[in-house]
Chains A and B, each alone.
Chain A
Amino acid sequence: MILSDKSIAEIREKMVRYPRRKSAILPALTVAYNQLGHLDEEIYKEISQVIDVPTGEIAEAATFYTMFPKAPTGRYLIQVCHNISCALLGADGLVEYLESKLGIKKGETTPDKIFTLITVECLGSCASAPMMQIGDRYYEFLTKEKVDAILDDLRKKAEDGKADSV
């Protein structure tokens, strides 16, 4: 199994609370994503065994939701909001700044596999724009200085092997 015993236990614990097992699909996908950082066919099969819902139904749901990458990413997935409130306060420039700092284009991963950079739609952080999400954390009111400090800090963490503390 790719899913850890802890993840499986967590999925089961969530599943029994719902009147119907199928409702546990999204919670199960979330648990798997939190453990693995992405989803794929193998993971759908394993979830299928745990919650006893056909693999196809799990894949059907999973492929609808954009929050879960369907292939491995860098250790830190940088998601920059480029929707209107952030765009008005420089989201495009933020993306360009990150591209130049990381030496990659939007949609790419750094060669050391530490950072992947993508843009996303509104993250509900409009009054603290511009912003980005890394892991489950929001970084808000971003400036060039703040971005420098965040990237330095994460790179150091990754090199020290503390990536899981995002």
Chain B
Amino acid sequence: MEKRILFKYIDDPEQVRIDKYISRGGYKAWEKALKQMKPGDVIEEVKKSGVRGRGGAGFPAGLKWSFVPKDSPKPRYLVCNADESEPGTCKDRQLMECDPHGVIEGMAIASYAIGSHLCFIYIRGEFGGPIRSMNKAVKEAYDKKMLGKNIFGSGYDLDLIVHTGGGAYICGEETALLNSLEGERGMSRIRPPFPAIEGLYACPTVVNNVETLACIPHVINNGADWYTAMGTEKSKGTKIFSLSGHVKNPGNYELEMGTPLSYLINDLGGGVIDGHKLKAIIPGGSSTPFLLPEQLETPLDYESIAAAGSMLGSGGVIVIHEKTCIVWVIERLIHFYKHESCGKCTPCREGTGWLEQMISRIEHGQGKPGDLEKIDTICNNILGRTICPLGDAAVMPIQSALKLFREEWQYHIDHGKCLVETECPFR
């Protein structure tokens, strides 16, 4: 069953209006936090809830907040990461477009918890609909005095800036995002110092994903115990999965953590299109290793997907059927990572380019003996040798495809053509 917490009113077009949001209990958590809780209480509650970063890393949100130094004389900043661009992922877009006040309320509570009086939401620039929806909702929130000066008579001030990006996948990486927000090129920064110590404008900063922040009002309203009653031992609550690719009913589905992958793909997704058989699943956005049909009963939670050899990542589940050449899939992905590499680290900048050339050559019938071994070597020289995870993200699906579908690669090299002819028609 879908477990709709964040998505409870997602289909109702009225939910974008602040009056409707408030009539359904909206901004109650914000009021409760400001009037009844100390910032430390909010952090403790979120820590207890076990909410983890929904952008892909899965880092515990409350713990991240607790790294902000209590005694720093500098201003602190909360930044909502809405640069959603991991291929296969389209959940934050729907949250912002259809329930923008849920995002604002989460940002407000998180800001209060870390002592921030100015917060930002960095939305990818292509997202016309979500940008319009967020701008409108922020204006409403100011008019209703949910943002601005002396909110709920508490003496607490909070401003919120909607900042839009310029089309760069790398800006979803938090330090690149901060550089971009400062007006620089969106290149990642070396850590330490971590953003909690020196982030935006070298001040303590917390960066959280949209979905992560949208969980927060529910945790504050209902308590950590209510939240931890959902999910598995280490993966608490619900998660929104974006289901795409070769399925009958693609879409965003909110599920309790631990729900089997088969339920998402077959029961909700209606199974594979055109009567074809399932070939592979990318479970957590395009950067994560493939799963095979025999792993369909794997529960969707951080630990189970990791044990199956992949990652839950952003929850972007991409379904691939049998009439798909895996080398073609990888060619598409490596083209993307090469295009999006910011160029700062040599292994990623040069390595993704070499990989793209070689893989494209193989896909187009020009593969040579020794190519696969060379690809392996290049991958190993990128993995773990870059400042940010983009290099790893580029390599993981390649290594996985080489391991799981080696015969297809070898056939390409031996015969100069696909073992499996791709059938992905435009209708």
Contact = CB atoms under 8 A, between A and B. Distances in A.
A4 to B, nearest CB: 19
B245 A85 contact: yes
A126 interface: yes
A125 B90 contact: yes
Given A122-B85, A127-B242, A19 B118 contact: yes
Name the residue among B86, B185, B282 with the largest chain A CB count within 10 angstroms: B185
Contacts of A164: none
Instruction: Report, as a range, how many residues of chain B touch the other chain.
Output: 35 or more
A150 to B, nearest CB: 14
Nearest to B250: A127
B87 A23 contact: no
Nearest to A87: B332
Nearest to B203: A19
A121 B339 contact: yes
A17 B166 contact: no
A150 B92 CA distance: 27
A138 B88 CA distance: 16
B405 to A, nearest CB: 15
B81 to A, nearest CB: 13
B93 A124 contact: yes
A9 interface: no
Contact of B185 (A19, A64, A96, A128): A64
Contact of A124 (B84, B181, B318): B84
B185 A84 contact: no
A30 to B, nearest CB: 6
Nearest to A95: B426
B251 A127 contact: yes
Nearest to A136: B128
B426 A53 contact: no
Contacts of A135: 128
A122 B87 contact: yes
Nearest to A24: B183
Interface residues of A, number: 55
Given A89-B424, A127-B251, A30 B246 contact: no
Given A68-B166, A88-B245, A20 B201 contact: yes
A82 interface: yes
Interface string A40-65: 00000000000001000100111011
A60 B336 CA distance: 22
B164 A126 contact: no
A122 B427 contact: no
Nearest to A141: B250
B11 interface: no
A127 B182 contact: no
Interface stretch (B16-24, B119-127, B212-220, B296-304): B119-127
Contact of A127 (B85, B252, B324): B252
A61 B167 CA distance: 12
A144 B126 contact: no
A130 interface: yes
Interface in B370-427: 424-427
B53 interface: no
A30 B127 contact: no
A86 B427 CA distance: 13
A2 B126 CA distance: 24
Contacts of A30: 125, 164, 166
A61 B242 contact: no
B5 to A, nearest CB: 19
Interface string B65-84: 00000000001000000001
A94 B426 contact: yes
Interface string A106-132: 000000000000001111111111100
Contacts of B244: 85, 88, 126-127, 129
B360 interface: no
Contacts of B164: 26-27, 30
A92 B424 contact: yes
B186 A64 contact: yes
A25 interface: yes
A120 B163 CA distance: 22
Contacts of A133: 126
B363 to A, nearest CB: 13
A78 interface: no
Contacts of A124: 84-85, 89-90, 92-93, 124, 126-127
Given A84-B318, A122-B85, A130 B286 contact: no
B167 A65 contact: yes
Contacts of A137: 128
A90 B425 contact: yes
B318 A144 contact: no
A62 B168 CA distance: 11
A64 B168 contact: yes
29 contacts: A22-B182, A22-B183, A23-B183, A25-B183, A26-B125, A61-B183, A64-B168, A64-B342, A65-B125, A68-B167, A83-B336, A84-B282, A84-B332, A85-B88, A88-B318, A89-B246, A94-B426, A121-B340, A124-B89, A124-B93, A126-B88, A126-B89, A126-B250, A127-B243, A127-B252, A135-B128, A136-B128, A138-B128, A138-B129
Closest 3 CB pairs of A and B: A65-B166, A93-B426, A67-B167
